Amino acid sequence: MQRRIAVAAVLVTMALAACGSPSEPSANGTIPVPTPAPAVTPTAAPTPTFAEPSSSPTPTPVQPTASPAKPKPPSGKPISCTGKVTQTKPAASGTGPGGSLVKTGTPAVALTFDDGPDPINTPKILDALQQCGVKATFCVVGFRARDNPGLIARIAAEGHTLCNHSWQHLFDLAKRDDAYIRKDLENTNKMILRAAPPGARVAYFRAPGGNFTTKLVKIASDLGMKSIYWHVDPRDWESAKFGKGTAMVNHIIAAVERDVRPGSIVLSHDNGKPDTIVAYRTLLPWLKARFTLIALPDTPTPPSPAPATPLP
């Protein structure tokens, strides 16, 4: 009997050794039977999925590059500037302050636009002038010429005349000392010519507010510029008196039609004056039918010949 027990113990020990995880006997001396580990079912590696390519892939549409649109006039409608009307008004006359000019010296009328260039309004008046085949004179401010060189280039390229209107439109410019005035006008010319096409000139000067003095006219002349005042001033800047919108537009039209004469220099403003642009869509056909409209000539005036020295 004891021999059978011994054999059984040996068999149990061998079985435990075969499992590779021997267990300690319990407190009562019995040897626990190990719980077999659960069978692990191997998990198959996931099969990767791929998006099937379309048999005819749809290409991403490429937007064609549009050609730059031609600038349109403010109303989107072209101006008609045809026909001729005979006028019998007397010629412009007079002289501006400090000896500045108020007339062209011929029957032709010169339209002038001050205080620009304005990135919104200047292109609109240029479009209107182009449609009517009219050239004008632009009296530009130095720092605005610096900030809008493309408009200076366009003004010159389209055959309009460039005019110096000082660096920053100081109404008391004439009261400054000579060195200050000269530097102001020189810097303005430099900025205008930097933006203009090669060969462009600045042949005219207009004092801010028209505040000319003989000293200011002399300094401008020393720099090769004639000083221009005006014969017609519709006061398109005086909105406190004449209103805005339709009221101002009607006022500008009436004032120019009433006051213009053969040889007049007409003052207007493009910078910040949208009503002026609208008014000129009516004025340009009216003026062109009655007058020759010119840009002030930008060729230098030849010096006066020296008096002949009498022969001994």
Q: Which ranges of 196-273 would DSSP assign to H, the alpha helix?
A: 214-222, 239-242, 246-259
Buried b (16+ CB within 10 A) or exposed e, 208-242: bebebbeebbebbeeeebbbbbbbbbbebbeeeeb
Task: Kindly state the tokens that stand for 211.
Answer: 């505040």
Q: What share of the chain is helix, strand, coil (3-state, %, to 5)?
A: 35, 10, 55
The CA distance from 24 to 83, in Å, is 124
Buried b (16+ CB within 10 A) or exposed e, 153-183: ebbbeeebbbbbbbbebbeebbeeeeeebee
Catalytic residues: 114, 269
The CA distance from 244 to 45, in Å, is 80
Contact at 8 Å (CB) between 221 and 229?
no
Helix (H) or strand (E) holding 32, with range, is: none
Peptide bond into 208 cis (omega under 30): no
The CA distance from 147 to 72, in Å, is 23
Task: Kindly state the tokens that stand for 289.
Answer: 């039918």
